Structure 1
Amino acid sequence: MALLFASTADDPELWRRELGRRLPGLEIRVHPEIGDPADIDLALVWLPPPGLLASLPNLKAILSLGAGVDAMLDDPTLPADLPLCRLVDPSLTATMSEYVLLHVLKYHRMQDLFARDQRERRWQLRLPAPASSTRVGILGLGVLGTDAARVLAGHGFSLRGWSRSQKQLDGVACFAGPAQLPAFLAQTDILVCLLPLTAETTGILDRDLFARLPKGARLVHVGRGAQLVEEDLLDALDRGQLGGATVDVFVQEPLPPEHPFWAHPAIDITPHAASYSDPAVGADVIAENIRRFFDGRPLQHVVDRARGY
C-alpha cells in the first residue's frame, strides 16, 4: 500500500518529510518513479499528467494539492468512481487573503495610477479617500471568499459579497442568485472573483457583467481562468469601463508570450501565484484524510462532481 505524489509545482521532499512526521509508516512514491502501479492506493497530486490516475488499477482516492480541481475534472480519463478531495488548508487560505488585500490596497491607494505617473515622469499628489468609502465586492463566499472578507473588514473597507445561495457574514452585505447579481455589481468599486469553476461560472466575467459595474471599477481575478472572457476584459479596459485589472489565472497557462495581457498598461499579471499551501501546515489536512481513509471513515472536502467543487 502506497501513496503516489505527482506535482511539478510542489517540492516532493518537503511533502515527504512533513507527511512522514505525521504518518511514519506511509510509503510515498514520487512520480515518475511509480514502481508497481498496483501498489498505489492514494494519489496526492496537482495537475497530474492526463491518464496517470487512470493507469493505477487499485487507486481508491485522489487528494488534490490545491483548492481548485477543474483541471482534473476536465481529464476524460479521470476515474469517475473515486472520491476526489480538494485541499482546504489554513496556509492556502491565508496566502489568498494576503494576495487579495495587497491588490485591493493597490487600487484603493491608487498605486496603479502612481505607477502610470512614474512611467510618464509626472509628479502628481493623489490622496486616498477613507477605506470605508471603497466598496469591495467578493464573487464567491466559500472558505477563501469568507476569509478574504474577514481580512478586508479589518482594514475598514465597505464589503459586499455574492454567492449562489444566501449567506450571512458579519459586516458584509450579502447577495445571492442571478436575480441579485446586478444590484451587487452596481455597488462594487473593486470586484474580487473567488468563484469555483462550474458550468454556471464559466465565462461569467464578460462584457455584460463589466457593464453593470460602476465606470472605472477594478477587477482582481483569482478564481479560475475559464471564468474570464479575455477579449471582453481588454475591450472594457480600452473603453474605460474598467480602470484596471489584476489577473492571476488564465485560460491558457503558462500565458503565451504573444498574449496581449503582457503589454496592456492597465493589467497586472501574476503566474497563478495568489495562494499556495505550506507543507508544514497542509500536511496536517492531508494526513487527517489519509488516516480517515485507512480507518474507513468519511473523507473531508470531497468534491461534488456535479457541482464542480
Structure 2
Amino acid sequence: MRVLLLERDHARYAELLSAAAPDLQLLTGEQAAAGEAQACPVWLGQPDLLLPLLRQGLRPDWLQSTWAGITPLLGIGLPRDYRLTRAVGIFGQPMAEYVLTYLLAHRRRVLPRLASQVEQRWDNQAPPSLRGCKVLVVGAGDIGSDIARFLAPFGVELRGIARQPRAIAPFAEVHGLDALAEQAAWADCLVNVLPDTPATRDLYDAALFAGMRTEALFINAGRGVAVVDADLVAALRTGRLAGAVIDVCREEPLPAGHPFWDAPRLLLTGHSSAPTEPAAMAALFLDNLQRYRDGQQLRGEVDFARGY
C-alpha cells in the first residue's frame, strides 16, 4: 500500500513504519508532488503540511493526522469526502504530567519562593496539600479522563465538563457545557482541554473569570481561541485569579508585545504540554491501518459536522 508521509520528522516515522510494516510504500515529503500524492489512498502527517494538497482539491481515502487538533483541515472550501482521524490515546499521560506539574507548583508556591530567594527574604508560608483540592476538567474526553485518573490518587475532588452530562470515571460529577460558569465558581483549579469548535471559542471571558474563586488557578492546554486574552489579563491584574498557566495561544509563536508576556502570575509554556512522540504515533497509525484494511471503525475518526 502506498502511504503519503508528510511530517517534519518524516525520517524517524519512515524508520519506525518500515521496520514494523515493510510492505508499505512510503512517499515522503521530498517526493510529494501533487500527482504522486493523489496516487496514495492513505495520508499520514501534520495538518499544516497536508493542507496545501487539500486546497488543490486533492484528497485521500483516509488521512491520519499526527495532531490531536485538526482545525486546519476543517476550513471553508476544503474537501470533506474522505475519512479523517486525529491522534488519540497517546497524549493522556504527558498532558496529565503537565497539569500535575503546574498544579503542584502553584499549591507549593514554587514561583513565589523563587522570588523570595532572589530577594533574600525568608518564606515559610505553609502550602496547602493537593488533598481536597477542587479540580474542574473542562473537556472530559480521552485526555481529560486521563488527567483525572492521574490526579485521583492525590485525593483531589474531581468534576468534569462534557458536551452532555453523563457518568465518566473517575469524575464525581460530569456536567454539560451549559453549566461551565456554575462549576468554574466551585473550582480551585480549572483545566481547559476542549477542542476548537464554534461552541468552544471565547468561553473564558470577563464574566466567567469574575465568577471564579480569587484563589483559583486557570490552566489552558486546550486551544488558545477558547480564551479572551484581554479578559484573562484583566482578571490577573485585578486579583480576580491567583494565577494562570497558558500552553496555547491564539497566535503562535506569541508575538512580541502581547500582554501575556508580562501579565502578573501568568506562566507561558510554549505549546509544550504534550508533544507527539513518533513511536506512539506510529503504533496508533499501524493499528488504524489494520482497522482500515479490515473495514473496522477507526480510532479517533472525525465527524466533520461536529468538528472533532
Tell me the TM-score normalized by structure 2. Answer: 0.92
Partner of residue 39, structure 2? 39
Q: Distance in 2 between matches of 1:24 and 1:295?
A: 19
Partner of residue 29, structure 1? 27
Instruction: Write out per-residue CA displacement over residues 128-174 of structure 1, whole angstroms, 9 at most, x where no aligned residue.
Output: 12222321111110000001001111222222222221232445332
Matched, 1:84 2:84: yes
The 1:158/1:296 distance shift into structure 2, 3 A limit, reads closer
The 1:57/1:162 distance shift into structure 2, 3 A limit, reads closer
The 1:30/1:120 distance shift into structure 2, 3 A limit, reads farther
Per-residue deviation at 1:283? Answer: 1.5
Per-residue deviation at 1:48? Answer: 2.2
Q: Distance in 2 between matches of 1:246 and 1:102?
A: 11
Check conservation: 1:108, 1:134, Cα contact below 8 A: no
Matched, 1:141 2:140: yes
Partner of residue 268, structure 2? 269
- Pairing of 1:103-122 with structure 2 (within 5 A): 103-122=102-121
Q: Distance in 1 between matches of 2:119 and 2:74?
A: 46
Q: Distance in 1 between matches of 2:48 and 2:77?
A: 12
Per-residue deviation at 1:302? Answer: 0.8
Partner of residue 157, structure 2? 158
Q: Distance in 1 between matches of 2:41 and 2:198?
A: 31
Per-residue deviation at 1:278? Answer: 2.0
The 1:215/1:4 distance shift into structure 2, 3 A limit, reads same
Q: Secondary structure at the match of 1:97?
A: helix
Instruction: Write out per-residue CA displacement over residues 72-98 of structure 1, whole angstroms, 9 at most, x where no aligned residue.
Output: 223x353211111011133x2211111
Partner of residue 17, structure 1? 15
Q: Distance in 1 between matches of 2:116 and 2:238?
A: 20
Per-residue deviation at 1:253? Answer: 0.9
The 1:239/1:256 distance shift into structure 2, 3 A limit, reads same
Q: Distance in 2 between matches of 1:274 and 1:294?
A: 33
The 1:54/1:25 distance shift into structure 2, 3 A limit, reads farther
Partner of residue 4, structure 2? 4
Per-residue deviation at 1:106? Answer: 1.1
Per-residue deviation at 1:6? Answer: 1.9
Partner of residue 292, structure 1? 291
Which consecutive residues of structure 1, in runs of 5 or more, have no partner in the other structure?
Answer: none
Tell me the TM-score normalized by structure 1. Answer: 0.91
Check conservation: 1:51, 1:78, Cα contact below 8 A: no
State the number of aligned residues. Answer: 305
Check conservation: 1:185, 1:212, Cα contact below 8 A: yes
Highest RCO, 1 vs 2 (Cα 8 Å, sep ≥ 6): 1
Q: Secondary structure at the match of 1:242?
A: coil
Per-residue deviation at 1:51? Answer: 2.5
Per-residue deviation at 1:178? Answer: 4.5
Check conservation: 2:161, 2:177, Cα contact below 8 A: no
Per-residue deviation at 1:233? Answer: 0.5
Partner of residue 207, structure 2? 208
The 1:47/1:59 distance shift into structure 2, 3 A limit, reads closer
* Cα RMSD (Å): 2.0
Farther-moved stretch of structure 1 (28-37 vs 141-150): 28-37
Q: Distance in 2 between matches of 1:164 and 1:57?
A: 33
Q: Distance in 1 between matches of 2:248 and 2:158?
A: 23
Q: Distance in 2 between matches of 1:187 and 1:259?
A: 30
- Pairing of 1:133-282 with structure 2 (within 5 A): 133-282=132-281
Which consecutive residues of structure 2, in runs of 5 or more, have no partner in the other structure?
Answer: none
The 1:178/1:275 distance shift into structure 2, 3 A limit, reads closer
Q: Secondary structure at the match of 1:48?
A: helix
